[in-house]
Amino acid sequence: MRRSHLKMAMAITAAAAASPSTALSSSYLLGRRECLKFLPRPAHSARKIRSTLKLSLVTAASSSSSSSSSSFKIKFAEGKEKGKAEIKEEAPKPKAFVIPWIVEDENGNFSFHMTHPNPQKLLEPSSPSTQKDKGKSKSAKAPPKAPTPEPKYSKAARRFFNENFRPTQRLGKVLAMAGVASRRGSEEIIFEGRVTVNGAICKTPQTRVDPLKDTIYIDGKTLPKKLPPKLYFALNKPKGYICSSGEENKSVLSLLDDYMKIWVQRNAGVPKPRLFTVGRLDVATSGLIIITNDGDFAQKVAHPSSGLTKEYIASVEGKVNRRHLQVVSEGTLVEGVRCTPVSVEHISPQPNEQKQRLRIVVHEGRNHEVRHLIENAGLKICSLKRVRIGGFKLPQDLGVGKHQVLGEAAIKNKLGLSI
């Protein structure tokens, strides 16, 4: 019976191969199912039959597809191989943007280049040899620290210090600071026995006293406990005024009368300060002069050891030549002492005047020293003006006969003195 079944299956397969149009028809499939019904499943021979049927069906399907493609003229696209990605053509790269170089040579001629003629120069700014070290060098010194301000003490602390630890002063200086007389005049008053300290007559100007603690009498009058503060003035001295206090109307001190009246009203109970000039200017000389009541300051500025120079501007008649400058620079005798200027310079005249001018710088500034130097050269002086003392120049906005009030630190800094 198995052989009959096998023959039937072979017949069906042959029929399918003979008529491809009906190979996939329902009758063919039903016949195939009917045929397979009779095949036993567990048998080993059935597996061979099934494989034989599958092979015959594949053969029939391939023959039918070839006949159908030829009958309907259908073309199929070629299959793509798997595992190979499509290779796209790369787009052309854009051309580089070239910047032309215009270079100037040593002769000043310009040339056109598509590239830099010396590309090594472009790398020099970025080389490590040209880069500055931004880090702090070990050898660099630390900036100096700002000076710490002195602590401020209360009024009670200052009063306690003044009462117990205030340094004593010489009696002659105390009288001069109180405005009794000049330093020499105060010493003469002490020598005459007109001064008493704590009830005893004192004839020694070097006696150390404390104005706040000691009781001082002058001709029976009590010396005030409060001393006037130190005052400093810069005055533009006019012609015709003297530097001494002999004639009040023509003294330079009379130019400060208005200021002193206001000062006395503001400082009630404080004695009026005794003012005097630092150095002197003759009657015919104008310019800068300093007025103060500080004797130590005046002595330090006027003394030659301070090294402060004085500058004068002299207007002369006639024409100044090189011989005149040479004679002035050689110096002359003043009061038996050879005086030589620091410098002599011929400067241009003022716009409104036709007189020649000389700038002369001297060290000591003895009595009429500048006038002797100019007259020794055969020149006649028309006017003489002092414009500088040390590093302190006469302010341009300070009118003739006017004064300027200065502090102790300010005037010492301008003069170049140590405070």
Residues annotated as part of the active site: 282
- CB proximity list for 22: less than 8 A, separation 6 or greater: 16, 28
- DSSP label at residue 244: S
In sequence order, what DSSP letters do the residues of 36-74 get, joined into one string? HHTS-SS-HHHHHHHHHHHHHHHHHHHHHHHHHHHHHT-
**Residue keyed to tokens 């099934």:** 50
Q: Which residues pair with 290 in a beta bridge?
A: 234, 278
In sequence order, what DSSP letters do the residues of 264-328 get, joined into one string? HHHSTTSPPP--EEES---TTEEEEEEEES-HHHHHHHHSGGG---EEEEEEESS---HHHHHHH
- DSSP label at residue 416: T
- DSSP label at residue 242: B
CA nearest 269: which of 226, 213, 313, 303? 226
Measured distance CA(381)–CA(371) in Å, rounded = 7
Q: Which two tokens stand for residue 313?
A: 């501007």
- DSSP label at residue 226: S
CB-CB contact of 236 with 288 (8 Å):
yes
Measured distance CA(186)–CA(207) in Å, rounded = 13
413 sits in which H/E element: helix 408-415
For 385, phi and psi rounded to 5 degrees?
-140, 135
For 128, phi and psi rounded to 5 degrees?
-65, -20
CA nearest 401: which of 251, 275, 244, 293? 251
